[in-house]
Structure 1
Amino acid sequence: MGSGYSNIQVVFNWRNVIGSMLGWGMDAYDFVAYDFVAPVIKDLFFGQLGSLGSMLATLAVFSLSLVVRPLGGVFFGNLSDKIGRRYVLYVTMLGAGISSFLMGFLPTYAQAGLTAIILLLLLRFAVGFFLGGEYSSSGIMSVESVTKWRGLASGIMQAGFDIGIFGVTFTYTIVATYLPSSAMSTIGWRIVFWSGIVTTILAFIFRRRFLTESPEWEKAEKVKSPYKVLFKNYWLPMLTILLATMGFLYEYYVMLELSPFILQSVLSYSAALSGLILTVLSASDAAGSVFGGVLVDLLRSSRRALLVTSLIILVLIYPTMYGVLINGNGWLVLLWDFLAVLPVGVMQVYIRDLLPVNVRSTGAGLGYNGGTWLAAWAALIATLMASASTKPQPWLSSITINTLIGAVLMIISFILAAKAIKSHSQ
């Protein structure tokens, strides 16, 4: 019996997969919390800029935390390749959790003027930096801890993001439902940020107790400078990964950042009903993540799975957004989310297939998070294209076009991957 359990652990190390998932989820909570209180942030920190200006400024602050993610990814990814995945994951989880917790203590513009905005920027910088470091190790840890069903492991780990989304939307819905509407701009938004520290501490305790080091990393030959080896020998795989992640993250953040605005400002749903839909959205997000990962295993190729998920998005995005915006069915945001998230379950196996162990975390830290350099501007571009309209029609063309841009970038990556995988195997 003991031997059988050991064999199961070798095939699929649940502790590492679940530990990676929980950590990614708690860091996602800290990251996404800003998005769900953005309408309040817009008024409290940037209300002096007018309707369009305040919305763009609020989105730009979120974009900062996306832009800085590759810096954290490369910094912590390099450490992860040198000293191991496990120790890095302890630091990144606490760093993101504490930074987000402190957001709840920020003074508003009316209270502190420009100082409030500077403090907001610094804390969002910190959240993005630690989140980039989290992905450089947690995603890689999950697929390196299994010998079969790597796609499933990737999908489960990525579904951790949805635990974070669920936690934020659940908290937001409770706050919006049981506090007076005026309280959202006083104490409500602060509660959303403060609540994340509880789940961060619980997930940290789980990691400390159950997480073990990646078996692939332990066996691999270490290199003195992962940066040097990565850029000298694996520039084509890195370019291939960057194209895939730029495409995925671009179309995904169009959905993630704009769905609360579409529900409340375009469809005129109440904050409570929007919160309910966005809470359920975490389930569709998890389903899409796992489905994308399982496709890798069923097709026996992360490259083929990336193509299939890209084609699904290409075919279904317009009718889905037509249903949301023209037919006014806000619940179809769940289908929009499912489509947008499909490629994420593919990404970790895709990175693993393209890079060797001794530079993999550095490559994941830059390659996955590097996609945010384009994605950071996705919602801003879509908003400008639609002129922040409260009418559905401008958003239909804007969201469809920007989602298609992401899908095309992933298809280009698919084309390059054949040569990149061949160069990696030589």
Structure 2
Amino acid sequence: MPRCITAPSEQYKLALAVSMGGMLELYDFLIYALMASYLADNFFPASDQVTSLLVTFATFAVGYLSRPLGGLFFGHLGDRLGRKKTFTLTISMMALTTALMGCLPTYHQVGILAPILLILCRLFQGFSLGGELPGAITYLGESAPQRQGMMIGILFLALMVGISLGTFVHGLLNQALGPETMASWGWRVPFWIGGLLGLLSYQIRKRFEESGLFMALDQVRQRSSIPLLILLKQHRRGLLCGLLLMALCGSTVTVFGVYMPSYLTTMLGLPKGDVAWHTAVAFLILSPFSLLAGLCTDLINKKLLAACLALAVIFLTVPAFQYFISDDTHIRRMMMICGLFAAIASGLLPPMIIRLFPTEVRYTGVATSYNFGFALFGGLAPFSSTFLVQFTGTNMGPAFYVSGVGIVGLIALFIAWPNYPMRTESIVDNVVAEKS
């Protein structure tokens, strides 16, 4: 298969540069969840701690729910104006809103205006992230189509490191400042750090070259005027497959990678500092599994891999949570289990959606399926899991949620997946076929 970037070393350098930006942007987005207990006290005070946390996670879900809008908007720009310009814009938006979140007044200072401002910042965060990760997936997949699984695996390895970075910063600040200072103003520091890292990522993005496959669209003038309409008319099957795969990915990664620190500290009463440190170490150690999972998609039948993951989620999540709530448990082992689930799911499933769509609507297709899957099944995961804990009266709520979504994800295996070639010659062939 022809290469858009001829030298393999350049492909790896490009993947590392893109992944660095993705890591920093995910840190910005997920630091909200890691600071959830402090935000609950400062922006959503309530007499019941669980109720306060529920409202905080509802605001977390708002950020996820705005991602589809961002995906549609930036997907359109990406398919019309280019991949590079679009996901360079998203990182600057993300950096600004994250820094602003660290400067917001609290409920005790300005009353109801505080949570309103926080929700607006979360909306803009989710909006920008809706274009960021799909843009990175599309850009890497098109820049190295013969090794797209490995390249996208590098991206999600970096995202795992982003989760580890967030928890490391949280643990370091807890140890350096102490609980009282963290509750007073220390919770703001991770947001300021995220804003600065986002600006650094923007400087990295500005130096990228455009995707070779998108440049081929320029040569044959095959850009879609309204990519979303073409996607809905001609590529509904690919969209459904991508949505189901990302539902499985979103629920697994969010519950095991984002929700667990708050679950362990609030629901199980474990020390925040210990949970933060063990989470950081576990996700850092297990991040290479994202790369290995992505590499597997280049070598092994994708449907077989998706089936294995779905069955593992369905049948292993409940025993895992039974261990979590048992008396004979250890934080390090719990976070290693969580990190393994999150690493494999994040590295395995996103590379599968890149070939579901042709080049002229690929950014929009990836952004729509990715963001709707994460918004509907990932964004609501912390809220739904906490609600199930309250409703059932058992701490097994997150396990029931993830297993249920795993069953939904199995539907994708019974659909014939589209498989569009990723080479510049195919774009020219399509135009010749249409004219004839």
Fold shared by both chains (TM-score > 0.5): yes
DSSP 3-state at the match of 2:395: helix
Deviation of 1:171 (Å) = 1.3
Counterpart check, 1:366 vs 2:363: no
Q: What SS does structure 1 have at the residue aligned with 2:45?
A: helix
- Per the alignment, residue 155 of structure 1 pairs with 153
Equivalenced residues, count: 413
What is residue 336 of structure 1 aligned with on the other side? 338
C-alpha separation in 1, matches of 2:61 and 2:10: 36
2:433 corresponds to: none
Q: Gaps spanning 5+ residues in structure 2: where?
A: 431-436
State whether structure 2 residue 3 is matched by structure 1 residue 13: no
Contact 1:248 1:406 in 2 (8 A): no
Question: Does 1:185 find its partner at 2:183?
Answer: yes
SS of 1:17's partner is helix
- Tell me the SS of whatever aligns to 1:213: coil
State the SS of the aligned residue for 1:222.
coil
Alpha-carbon distance change, 362 to 271 in structure 1, aligned in 2, over 3 angstroms: same
Q: Indicate whether 1:239 and 2:240 are aligned.
A: yes
2:203 equivalent in structure 1: 205
- 2:224 aligned partner, one-letter code: V
- Hey, what does 1:83 align to over in structure 2? 81
1:55 equivalent in structure 2: 53
Q: Is the 8 A contact 2:214 2:359 kept in 1?
A: yes
Partners of 1:213 and 1:261 in 2: how far apart? 40
State how far apart, in whole Å, the 2-side matches of 1:411 and 1:287 are: 26
Distance in 2 separating the partners of 1:75 and 1:41: 29
AA in 1 matched with 2:236: W
Counterpart amino acid of 2:317? I
Q: Any residues of structure 2 matched to 1:9-408 within 5 Å, and which?
A: 9=8, 13-48=11-46, 50-209=48-207, 211-220=208-217, 221-284=222-285, 286-299=287-300, 301-326=301-326, 327-331=328-332, 332-371=334-373, 372-387=375-390, 394-396=394-396, 398-408=397-407
Q: CA deviation at 1:306?
A: 1.7
| In 2: Cα distance, 1:419 partner to 1:203 partner | 35
8 Å contact from structure 2 (residues 57, 382) kept in 1: yes
In the other structure, the counterpart of 2:434 is none
Cα 1:402–1:12 shift into 2, 3 Å: farther
Letter in 2 for 1:245: M
1:101 counterpart letter in structure 2: A
| CA shift for structure 1 position 203 | 2.0
The amino acid across from 1:294 in the alignment is: L
The Cα shift of 1:118 comes to: 0.7
Check whether the contact 1:302–1:349 (CA below 8 A) recurs between aligned residues.
no
Distance 1:8 1:166, change over 3 A: same
Which one-letter code corresponds to 2:350 in the other structure?
Q
SS at match of 2:223: coil
Shift of 1:115: 0.5
Q: Is the 8 A contact 1:284 1:335 kept in 2?
A: no
Contact 2:356–2:417 (Cα < 8 Å) also in 1: no
CA distance in 1, matches of 2:391, 2:137: 35
Instruction: Return the offset for 1:198.
Output: 2.4
Report the CA distance between 1:348 and its aligned residue: 3.4
- 8 Å contact from structure 1 (residues 321, 336) kept in 2: no
Distance (whole Å) between structure 1 residues aligned to residue 213 and residue 169 of structure 2: 38
Larger mean Cα displacement after TM superposition, 19-28 or 372-381: 372-381
1: CA distance, partners of 2:274 / 2:111? 33
Is the Cα contact below 8 Å between 1:323 and 1:329 reproduced in 2? no
Matched residue SS, 1:106? coil
- Offset, 1:58: 0.4
1:330-361 Cα deviation digits (max 9, x unpaired): 22222123113423223333222211011010
Distance 1:347 1:122 in 2: 30
How far apart are 1:80 and its partner, in Å?
A: 0.5
CA drift at 1:419: 5.0
Instruction: Tell me the distance in 2 between the aligned counterparts of 1:258 and 1:7.
Output: 41
SS at match of 1:387: helix
Deviation, structure 1 residue 295: 1.8
> Given residue 61 of structure 1, which amino acid in structure 2 is its aligned partner?
T
Alpha-carbon contact 2:71-2:364 (below 8 Å) kept: yes
Give the alignment's TM-score, normalised by structure 2: 0.89
What SS does structure 1 have at the residue aligned with 2:365? helix
Following TM superposition, the consecutive aligned residue runs of length 4 or more in structure 1 with deviations greater than 6 angstroms are none
Q: Bigger shift: 254-263 or 65-74? A: 254-263
Q: Distance in 2 between matches of 1:172 and 1:388?
A: 30
| TM-score when normalising by structure 1 | 0.91
Q: For each residue in 1:23-44, what CA deviation from the matched residue of structure 2 results, as whole angstroms up to 9, or x when unmatched? A: 2111101101111110011111
What is the deviation of 1:140? 0.8
SS, match of residue 145 in structure 2: coil
Letter in 1 for 2:181: A
SS at the partner of 1:149?
helix
Structure 1 gap ranges (5+): none
